[in-house]
């Protein structure tokens, strides 16, 4: 019998709540939890556990496969050493290399087939960028890592998911003005194709239903409140239909997310970041999961930030990381089943 590969969890911003989430996720494990290990600094996790009064036993490992045996009795830690001591709530660019190293190692292990996938704890983008990080966020960085490994471009999309809703923003980490300026039909079509393919491969939905959100109020009212629906979004919807994808829209965003509307689609494509994230965070702030679609490996993340204001207080809710690990496990199983050779 083949033993399931473990999952990995990256450290995220060490001054944020990521370490607390990792400790609490391990403490909340059940017999059904796929074993996972953390790419983190063991010393800082031990100090944090003592400070928070969390009865989490830690054990260093040298290889991912050692997490399987270790996990039932201790949280496995594959060491990534920090350069300076951590002060909760106060990010230090000196520790940015460790944060980046954890992400790079997780991606490398996933592409080497040593782990089933990984969940990333939240990062503080500004702190990383002050240390020379050139990417807007996890999504773009992971796409770059995958592209470098494959020696060809990798097209990705960011999905936010919870049991009641899935959303995919077409433009991601851009200002609202820049998102509107750069929106085009090709980006909508590309994102729609990625979303439809991922819903089939990773979520087991045989015929995905896509809803496309309008950009303007009332879907532009036939051009009276903006013509992007006519010039850009409508043609993209038609192109997706020609691909054989079940798609509707552009639909007014203010009526797209109530319960009756959500029952009519499997994912909503949104035109900009907050149009996607506001509804899902309103519906399930603690349980929402960020999924990067289009990668050659499974990556999920909590759908929240570093919460520097409560770091080190013990108040962090690990629900989103636990949900991210469960979703990574589920997607990894579907991926394994899809890729398994026919009998």
Residues 205-253: pLDDT tens digits? 999 999 999 999 999 888 888 899 999 999 999 999 999 999 999 999 9
Domain 1-156+299-343, CATH 1.10.3860.10 — does that match? no
CA distance 308 to 305: 8
Would you state the pLDDT for residue 304? 86
Residue 1 pLDDT exceeds 80: no
Would you state the pLDDT for residue 3? 61
Token pair listed for 145? 């890592």
CA distance 222 to 225: 8
CA distance 255 to 185: 22
Which alpha helices (DSSP H) does 204-258 contain, by range?
A: 228, 234-242
DSSP-derived letter for residue 35 is P
CA distance 57 to 34: 18
Residue 144 pLDDT exceeds 60: yes
Global pTM value = 0.91
pLDDT in tens, 260-275: 999 999 999 999 999 9
Topology of domain 164-283, per CATH? Answer: Isopropylmalate Dehydrogenase (3.40.718)
Token pair listed for 87? 């002060």
Residues 6+ apart with CB under 8 A from 333: none
Return the CA Rg of the chain.
20
Whose tokens are 């350069």? That residue is 83
CA distance 183 to 174: 11
Residue 341 pLDDT exceeds 60: no
CA distance 228 to 250: 10
Token pair listed for 322? 């636990």
CA distance 93 to 210: 41
Would you state the pLDDT for residue 173? 83
- 10 three-state secondary structure: strand
Would you state the pLDDT for residue 337? 75
Would you state the pLDDT for residue 339? 65
Mean pLDDT of the chain: 94
Q: Which residue has the higher pLDDT, 306 or 1?
A: 306
Residue 343 pLDDT exceeds 60: no
| Mean pLDDT score, 92-97 | 95
Token pair listed for 19? 């370490």
Judge if 1-156+299-343 and 164-283 fold alike in CATH terms: yes
For residue 340, name the pLDDT band (cuts at 50, 70, 90).
Answer: low
Would you state the pLDDT for residue 112? 97
Side-chain half-sphere CA neighbours of 167 within 13 A: 28
List, as one string, the DSSP characters of 66-115: HHHHHTTTSEEEEE---SS--BTTB--GGGHHHHHHHHHHHHHHHHTTSS
Reference 293, options 138, 81, 61; nearest CA is 138
DSSP-derived letter for residue 224 is B
CA distance 47 to 7: 24
Residue 342 pLDDT exceeds 60: no
CA distance 28 to 218: 45
Burial class (CB in 10 A: 0-12, 13-18, 19+), 314: middle
Domain parsing of the chain, residue ranges? 1-156+299-343, 164-283
Residue 132 pLDDT exceeds 90: no
CA distance 135 to 128: 9
């Amino acid at each position: 019998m083949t033993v399931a590969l473990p999952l990995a969890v990256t450290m995220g911003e060490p001054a944020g709540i990521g370490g607390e989430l990792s400790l609490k996720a391990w403490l909340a494990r059940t017999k059904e939890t796929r074993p996972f290990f953390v790419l983190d600094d063991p010393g800082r996790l031990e100090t944090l556990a003592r400070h928070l009064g969390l009865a989490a036993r830690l054990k260093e490992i040298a290889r991912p496969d050692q997490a399987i045996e270790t996990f039932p009795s201790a949280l496995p830690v594959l060491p990534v050493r920090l350069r300076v001591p951590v002060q909760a709530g106060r990010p230090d660019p000196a520790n940015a290399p460790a944060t980046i190293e954890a992400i790079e190692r997780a991606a490398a292990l996933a592409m080497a087939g040593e782990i089933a996938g990984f969940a990333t704890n939240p990062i503080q983008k500004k702190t990383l960028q002050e240390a020379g990080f050139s990417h807007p966020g996890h999504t773009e960085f992971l796409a770059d890592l995958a592209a470098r490994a494959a020696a060809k471009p990798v097209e990705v999309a960011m999905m936010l998911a919870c049991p009641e809703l899935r959303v995919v923003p077409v433009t991601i980490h851009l200002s609202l003005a820049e998102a509107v300026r750069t929106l085009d039909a090709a980006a909508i079509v590309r994102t729609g194709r990625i979303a439809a393919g991922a819903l089939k491969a990773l979520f087991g939905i045989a015929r995905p239903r896509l809803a496309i959100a309008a950009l303007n109020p009332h879907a532009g009212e036939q051009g009276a409140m903006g013509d992007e629906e006519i010039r850009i979004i409508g043609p993209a919807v038609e192109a997706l239909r020609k691909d054989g994808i079940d798609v509707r829209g552009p639909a007014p965003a203010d009526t797209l997310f109530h319960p009756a509307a959500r029952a009519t689609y499997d994912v909503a494509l949104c035109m900009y970041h907050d149009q996607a994230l506001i509804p899902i965070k309103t519906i399930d702030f603690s349980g929402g999961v960020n999924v990067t679609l289009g990668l050659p490996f499974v990556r999920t993340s909590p759908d929240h930030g570093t919460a520097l204001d409560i770091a080190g207080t013990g108040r962090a809710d690990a629900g989103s990381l636990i949900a991210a690990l469960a979703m990574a496990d589920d997607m990894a199983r579907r991926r394994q089943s899809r890729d398994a050779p026919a009998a």
